[in-house]
């Protein structure tokens, strides 16, 4: 499939608003040829091109969701203003940390356009009807449902536009509950019976379908404000969806970092992966570059690998409220927990000499806790309040290789089997059946522990090999344990904002750098959804702004 992905990247920049507001039929018809698509091809390359996006054109890369907007609005990631005013950018990133964003924030526009671009491409292809088999039509509709689930999660109230929309007028906004029902009906449509039980994320399949169903039902209380009784029924549906994934016998829990190897598309490395974006820069796709945004250029990383000039020293790990904050991300891991290696901090060493690497005469020390970078910066006189070059631990989830290029080949992981198991565990706990979740925790945690002698690190790469040794962590089938375990397992995987909202922590409490003393907005539930971008409202006057942003 990877050699088929680069079909239509030239068309994408012309589609941003055509896909969600313009409805220009002529433009749509230029996108793909009309010949019948082979059953083996899955949804054609254009669908994957839309999903992977492009960071070379404005507003088309999932980075708008995965880092800049979603993760930076949580206690996982921050983007401080650094010495010299780097990353000030009109306080765009700081707005997400403080929850002070507004409809003019261009990153919010980026996320809106990214999702509606996918929807527009899917609608175009679905209009071609018999060109695609029922299996392929089901795949395309599944991709569209995924995009709508993301939109509903971020923006709540959005327009519903399917392939049958023919009105020449701009579409109106639908309530969040209506969008929820649309997605639920799509995922339960009989056409989805045509999906195959294949174990590859390059053909959207039944594993992806049931995982999305489970996500939808688990978060239904947030999306619809349904009654407690109805939520209990939805939790039962969540469990059934998780059981459907397990019944496929296609997935298993693997050694943690195999999911994030450079070759994580290989079957033996990816038995936990249900859905990923298949990047291959040498074959024309843009590449998974999000992790490289965090490291300082002209330095090495933890394992002595050169980091190229493209590295821009941006996002880093949220340092917590103070140096003793036990809820800071880098402090919540058991001493034997391999998952803490997703975070890198400390000195940088040259692998050949064993000496610290110095930049401008100063060693780089990625320090987990820091205080600078979240106040006003107007000139060099404000550098005293800025974050220094080494401030902040860094994201190191994906394997990096020697002479690492900006465009990493690691497939970007969207869904894993471990998520399915943990959704089942959470649903059981919420149904007061927590005892049934203990075996799930034990099954996962047996694959997450090590001691100092049991882990092998290849010094030429960041590939980690682990011998399984049980953790000393005490399993508790409670929501408190569940919430913290989700933080550990899915660190930097774009889960945290949704989880924080579901557990009631996103807007109601102080955490990390999101504190009243830092000027953050605390206790405003309207911040649980983002505003409709001002640029979109100016193009479609029939849309109404979300509450709290007028």
What is the per-residue pLDDT across 286-333, written as a single tens digit (0 to 9) for each? 677 778 788 877 655 444 555 555 678 899 999 999 999 999 999 999
Q: Over the stretch 437-447, which tens digit does the pLDDT of each residue have?
A: 999 998 999 88
- Would you list the DSSP string of 263-293? TTTSGGG-TTEEEEE---GGGT---B-GGGG
CA angle centred on 391, ends 388 and 395, rounded to 5°: 135
Instruction: Give pLDDT, residue 295.
Output: 82
What does the pLDDT read at residue 160?
95
Chain length of the chain: 550
Q: Given a cut of 60, is residue 31 above it in pLDDT?
A: no
Burial 241-261 (b: 16+ CB within 10 A, else e): bbebbbebebbebbbbbbbbb
pTM of the predicted protein model: 0.88
Residue-wise pLDDT for 125-178, tens only, equals 999 988 899 999 999 999 999 999 999 999 999 999 999 887 777 788 899 999
User: What is the arithmetic mean of pLDDT over 249-270?
Assistant: 87
The dihedrals phi and psi of 272, each to the nearest 5 degrees, come to -90, -20
From CA 147, how far away is CA 327, in angstroms rounded? Answer: 32
CA-nearest of 528, 526, 533 to 547 is: 526
Q: Which pLDDT score, from 0 to 100, does residue 452 have?
A: 42
Residue 183 in tokens: 């997605």
d(CA 255, CA 296): 29
Neighbour-count burial of 508, counting CB atoms closer than 10 A to its CB (0-12 exposed, 13-18 middle, 19+ buried): middle
pLDDT band with cut points at 50, 70 and 90 for residue 336: confident
On the question of pLDDT at 549 being above 70, the answer is: yes
pLDDT above 70 covers what percent of the chain? 78
CA distances from 466 to 171, 190, 301, 448, 451 (A): 52, 43, 20, 9, 9
488 within 8 A of 337, measured Cβ to Cβ: yes
The set of long-range contacts for 477-483, using a CB threshold of 8 Å and a minimum separation of 24, is 477/425, 477/428, 477/429, 477/434, 477/435, 477/437, 477/438, 477/441, 478/429, 478/434, 479/426, 479/429, 479/430, 479/503, 481/441, 482/422, 482/425, 482/426, 482/429, 482/437
Terminal CA-CA length for the chain: 45
Residue 387 structure tokens? 């974050």
Tokens of 539: 């193009």
Inform me whether the pLDDT recorded for 353 exceeds 70: no
Closest CA to 129 of 166, 168, 163, 167: 163
Average per-residue pLDDT for the chain = 83
Residue 153 tokens read as 């999660």
DSSP 293-330: GSSPTTSB-TTS-BB-TT-----EE---SSTT-TTSGG
Measure the CA–CA gap between 421 and 11, rounded to whole angstroms: 39
CB 386 within 8 A of CB 83: yes
Instruction: Tell me the Ramachandran region of residue 403: left when phi exceeds 0, alpha when psi lies from -120 to 50, beta otherwise.
Output: left
Tokens of 397: 């989830």
CA torsion 258-260-264-270 (nearest 10°) is: 50
**What is the reported pLDDT for 529?**
97
Which of 392 and 453 is assigned the larger pLDDT? 392
Instruction: For residue 37, report the phi and psi dihedrals to the nearest 5 degrees.
Output: -95, 135
Q: Which of 52-61, 399-408, 487-496 has the lowest mean pLDDT?
A: 52-61
**Most distant CA pair in the chain: distance in Å?**
68
Packing angle between helix 176-187 and helix 206-218, nearest 10 degrees?
Answer: 150
Residue among 505, 465, 471 nearest 488 (CA): 471
What are 232's two structure tokens? Answer: 């209990």
Rounded to an integer, what distance in angstroms lies between the CA atom of residue 214 and that of residue 159? 23
Is 524's pLDDT higher than 80? yes
DSSP at 542: T
Q: Could you please report the per-residue DSSP string of 361-389?
A: TEE-EEBS----SSS---SGGGGGGSBPT
Q: How far apart are CA 128 and CA 405, in angstroms?
A: 39
* Strand ranges for 144-197 from DSSP E: none
Listed residue (350, 348, 294, 352) closest to 318, CA to CA:
294
d(CA 238, CA 499): 15
Whether the per-residue pLDDT at 347 is higher than 80: the answer is no
Q: Are 139 and 203 in contact (CB under 8 A)?
A: yes
The pLDDT confidence band at residue 66, using thresholds 50, 70 and 90, is: confident
Band (14; pLDDT cuts 50, 70, 90): very low
């Amino acid at each position: 499939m990877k050699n088929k992905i680069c079909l239509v990247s030239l068309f994408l920049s012309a589609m941003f608003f055509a896909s969600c507001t313009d409805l220009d039929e002529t433009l749509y018809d230029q996108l793909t040829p009309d010949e019948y698509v082979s059953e083996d091809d899955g949804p054609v390359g254009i669908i994957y091109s839309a999903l992977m996006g492009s960071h070379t054109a404005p507003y088309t890369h999932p980075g708008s969701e995965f880092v800049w907007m979603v993760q930076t609005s949580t206690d996982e990631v921050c983007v401080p203003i650094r010495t010299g005013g780097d990353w000030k950018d009109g306080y765009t990133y700081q707005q997400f940390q403080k929850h002070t964003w507004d409809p003019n924030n261009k990153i919010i526009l980026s996320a809106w356009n990214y999702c509606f671009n996918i929807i527009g491409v899917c609608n175009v292809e679905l209009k071609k009807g018999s060109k695609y088999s029922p299996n392929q039509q089901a795949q395309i509709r599944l991709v569209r449902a995924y995009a709508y689930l993301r939109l509903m999660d971020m923006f709540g109230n959005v327009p519903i536009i399917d392939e049958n929309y023919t009105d020449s007028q701009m579409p109106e906004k639908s309530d969040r509950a209506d969008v929820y029902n649309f997605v639920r009906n799509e995922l339960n449509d009989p056409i989805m019976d045509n999906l195959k039980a294949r174990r590859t994320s390059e053909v959207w399949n039944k594993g992806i379908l049931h995982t999305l169903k489970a996500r939808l039902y688990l978060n239904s209380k947030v999306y619809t404000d349904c009654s407690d009784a109805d939520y209990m029924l939805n939790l039962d549906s969540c469990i059934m969806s998780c059981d459907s994934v397990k019944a496929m016998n296609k997935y298993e829990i693997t050694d943690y970092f195999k999911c994030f190897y450079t070759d994580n598309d290989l079957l033996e490395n990816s038995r936990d992966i249900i859905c990923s974006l298949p990047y291959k820069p040498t074959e024309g796709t843009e590449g998974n570059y999000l992790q490289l945004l965090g490291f300082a250029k002209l330095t090495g990383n933890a394992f002595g690998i050169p980091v190229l000039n493209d590295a821009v020293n941006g996002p880093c790990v949220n340092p917590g409220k103070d140096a003793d904050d036990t809820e800071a991300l880098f402090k919540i891991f058991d001493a034997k927990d391999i998952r803490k290696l997703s975070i890198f901090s400390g000195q940088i060493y040259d692998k050949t000499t064993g000496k610290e690497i110095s930049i401008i005469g100063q060693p780089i020390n990625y320090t987990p806790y820091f205080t600078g970078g979240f106040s006003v910066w107007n000139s060099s006189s404000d550098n005293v309040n800025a974050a220094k070059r080494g401030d902040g631990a860094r994201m190191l989830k994906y394997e990096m290789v020697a002479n690492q290029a900006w465009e990493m080949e690691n497939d970007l992981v969207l869904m894993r089997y471990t998520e399915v198991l943990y959704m089942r565990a959470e649903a059981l706990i919420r149904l007061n059946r927590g005892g049934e979740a203990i075996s799930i925790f034990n099954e996962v945690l047996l694959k997450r522990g090590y001691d100092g002698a049991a882990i092998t690190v290849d010094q030429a790469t960041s590939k980690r090999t682990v011998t399984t040794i049980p953790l000393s962590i005490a399993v508790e089938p409670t929501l408190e344990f569940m919430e913290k375990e989700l933080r550990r397992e899915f660190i930097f995987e774009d889960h945290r904002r949704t989880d924080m909202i579901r557990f009631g922590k996103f807007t109601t409490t102080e955490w990390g750098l999101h504190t009243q003393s830092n000027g953050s907005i605390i206790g405003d539930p309207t911040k649980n959804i983002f505003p409709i971008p001002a640029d979109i409202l100016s193009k479609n006057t029939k849309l109404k702004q979300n509450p709290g942003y007028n």
